[in-house]
Amino acid sequence: MRKIYTYISIALFILPSMVNAQQDTTLNRQVLLEREYSPTLRDASKINTLPSIYNPAKPSIKASYIEKAPFVKINSQLLGKVGSGDIHTDVDYDTKNGYLRLGAGSNSNLEAIFGYKLVESPTDTLNLSATYGSTSGNVNYESKDFLTSKAKAKYADSKINLGYSHLFGPSIFSFGAYYRNMSYNYYGNPYWRQNDEFKADYYDLSKRQGVNVFNFNAALQSSDKNSGILKYIGSVGYSYFKNKYGPLIENDGIKGGQLDLRGNFYTEYDTDNIIGVKGKIINQSISDPKYNFKPYAGSFHNLTNIEATPYFKTEGSNWNVDLGLNAGCVLDYKRRLFFSPEIHANLVFAEANKLYFDATGGINENTFLQLLDENRYINPMSRVGYSRTPLDLKVGLNSGIIKGFEFGVFGGYKHTKDDHLFMSTSYYYVSSGDATAPLTVNTYSWGNVSTPFYANISTGHLGGMISTSLIPKTNLSVKATGYFYNVKYVNGYLSTYVNAIPEEKKAWGRPTFTVDVNADVNLLPQLNISLNYMYAGGRKAYIGPDRESTSSVGSISMNAINELNVHAEYKIRDWVSVYAQLNNVFDRKYEMVQGYTLQGFNGLGGLSFKF
């Protein structure tokens, strides 16, 4: 904790010359709810956005095509992001100050979204927002070969956010705070064999894990009125987090904090050039809960990542180039220096065609807060170690030469060292070395947890996308991507807590082919209809040992994600709309996290208000 207080003191001292490039990962991402949580938070109001700030980039080159089509994101067994808050509504700033959305549906699915501009003036803004989403419905497991065939999935996520900003002539100062609460049960299939001796108290499928997060942040940045040579963007934020339970219900969960310091200093010269340096310091500290059965050191070790990136930007009439180098060090159970490129280049030709190239890399901290939104069912005894990406290469071509029709092709290569994969595990110790002996001592109160293990993973991808408005009253986009993997298992920096890793080398949980289709249809001025179809196939999973003897179910194929969702909203008046949505119309069973089958067909409806 002494390190944390020292960092905070430094941050408060340098704050007047810094500002927020990214206050917090949750403050700057678009939140996409996974399909288990059916109430999808639609695009909502700008009420909850950060204050508009000066952007050092030159005006973008105009071209009649889109950069990216809507896409399916699968990262270590997660499709999209899980969370609440940070929503954006379509409230008209000139006439409306608030937004309220209330919905309910099958499987006890509930959603509520609220946002209000408490203060808005030329120099001050004060915004308040809150979101809530929950579900509690029975799911039938994808696999029927085990003793337990179904369970009730319980999940709730709520967030309250307050943000303030003030314009001080050449600078904008802002600060904010939020509270987030998440609760969920480990309802995943425990994969208990039908011929094994079973006792009802071996695991608990109903007890809810609880997570609390408190965040405070502040930022200072140059405004568009800043005529000085040096421009700046900087921020400081601190998050406190706590789990309610540990591996066993009688254990208290972990608690800790994450400090984020970010800065960007730059200057413009010769009209079309920018030179600068940006950097960050991220520190995560976790108190050691001193579990009696914790066999390995390192899981609760502090993590500090320090990065600096000097860069140079230049542009011409139809091109721009950003050249940078990431350099830094990460301090953890194992310390490491690293370097990676930060290069971006774009070329527009024939007025409506764009060729782009990106080469990046860096450290992936894999902090508690980052992993909470990737896979909340991670083994409570584990902390996922950091990974390094020496190279993440992307290249592509976009074309909008035909008015109303755009297409693109793209490819890339990414290599990550000490990347993490997940094995589904449910540990029970036996009274002797005999695997057939009665099961006597459980390591977890939870029937299914995702235990990480590590690999160096190279990923190649090729794909294409189209977007068109040629169909009357319809905007349509399609994106398809194929993935190719090379996997080499490594020990990683932290213990894996598994008795044996798979002999087969696969990118467990990750797809080999994805398709995402989106369509917006406007049949009537008051009626909007949106359709989304997504497919992700070729995934395989590994169900790990359930005994000290290292016996395991082994490798299995996962059902493809094959889902169609339909959303319709009708504007009754300017201030009130009614909406309805049908999710997983094909009623397909699939999992994002191994063992955790998601809801089948379900519906939800409600009302939206602007005031």
Residue 518 CB contacts under 8 Å (≥ 6 apart), including other chains: 69, 70, 476, 477, 530, 531, 532, 533
Q: Is the pLDDT of residue 314 over 50?
A: yes
Q: Is the pLDDT of residue 131 over 80?
A: yes
Q: What is the pLDDT of residue 562?
A: 94
CATH number for position 41: 2.40.170.20
Q: Is the pLDDT of residue 547 over 50?
A: no
Query: Region 171-183: what's the mean pLDDT?
Result: 96
Band (pLDDT 50/70/90 cuts) for residue 333 is confident
Q: Is the pLDDT of residue 242 over 60?
A: yes
Confidence (pTM): 0.83
Band (pLDDT 50/70/90 cuts) for residue 124 is very high
Instruction: Count CA atoms within 13 Å of residue 398 on its CB side.
Output: 19
Query: Region 282-301: what's the mean pLDDT?
Result: 79
Q: What is the pLDDT of residue 196?
A: 67
Q: b/e for 506-522, b at 16 or more Cβ within 10 A?
A: bbbbbbbebbbbbbbbe
Band (pLDDT 50/70/90 cuts) for residue 55 is very low
Q: What is the pLDDT of residue 202?
A: 76
Which of 8 and 226 is assigned the larger pLDDT? Answer: 226
Cα–Cα distance between 445 and 447 in angstroms, integer?
A: 7
Q: What is the pLDDT of residue 346?
A: 96
Residues paired with residue 308 on neighbouring β-strands, in sequence order: 279, 327
Number of domains in the chain: 1
Nearest residue to 515 via CA among 552, 588, 564, 548 = 564
Which of 157 and 63 is assigned the larger pLDDT? Answer: 157
Query: Of the given ranges (66-80, 145-159, 496-510, 582-596), which has the lowest mean pLDDT?
Result: 66-80
The rounded Cα 374 to chain-centroid distance in angstroms is 6
Band (pLDDT 50/70/90 cuts) for residue 53 is very low
Query: Region 522-535: what's the mean pLDDT?
Result: 94
Which of 356 and 84 is assigned the larger pLDDT? Answer: 356
Q: What is the pLDDT of residue 284?
A: 98
Q: What is the pLDDT of residue 545?
A: 61
Band (pLDDT 50/70/90 cuts) for residue 172 is very high
228 class by beta-carbon count within 10 Å (0-12 exposed, 13-18 middle, 19+ buried): exposed
Q: What is the pLDDT of residue 30?
A: 24
Q: b/e for 105-128, b at 16 or more Cβ within 10 A?
A: bebebbbbbbbbbeeeeeeebebb
Residues paired with residue 326 on neighbouring β-strands, in sequence order: 340
What are the phi and psi torsion angles at 4 (to 5°)? Answer: -60, -45
State the pairing for strand pair 303-315/319-331.
Answer: antiparallel
Which of 93 and 327 is assigned the larger pLDDT? Answer: 327
Residue 425 CB contacts under 8 Å (≥ 6 apart), including other chains: 379, 448, 449, 450, 451, 497, 498, 543, 544, 545, 546
Q: What is the pLDDT of residue 2?
A: 45
Quote the domain boundaries for residue 222.
2-610
Query: Region 491-504: what's the mean pLDDT?
Result: 81
Q: b/e for 193-226, b at 16 or more Cβ within 10 A?
A: eeeeeeeeebbbbeeebebbbebebbbbbbbeeb
Q: Is the pLDDT of residue 269 over 50?
A: yes
Structure tokens at 517: 């289709």
State the pairing for strand pair 303-315/98-105.
Answer: unpaired
Q: Is the pLDDT of residue 587 over 80?
A: yes
Q: Is the pLDDT of residue 493 over 80?
A: yes
Query: Of the given ranges (19-33, 200-214, 329-343), which has the lowest mean pLDDT?
Result: 19-33
Q: What is the pLDDT of residue 294?
A: 56
Cα–Cα distance between 583 and 600 in angstroms, integer?
A: 8
- Percentage of residues of the chain with pLDDT beyond 70: 79
Cα–Cα distance between 541 and 424 in angstroms, integer?
A: 8
Query: Of the given ranges (119-133, 183-197, 251-265, 318-332), which has the lowest mean pLDDT?
Result: 183-197
Q: What is the pLDDT of residue 98?
A: 93
Band (pLDDT 50/70/90 cuts) for residue 39 is very low
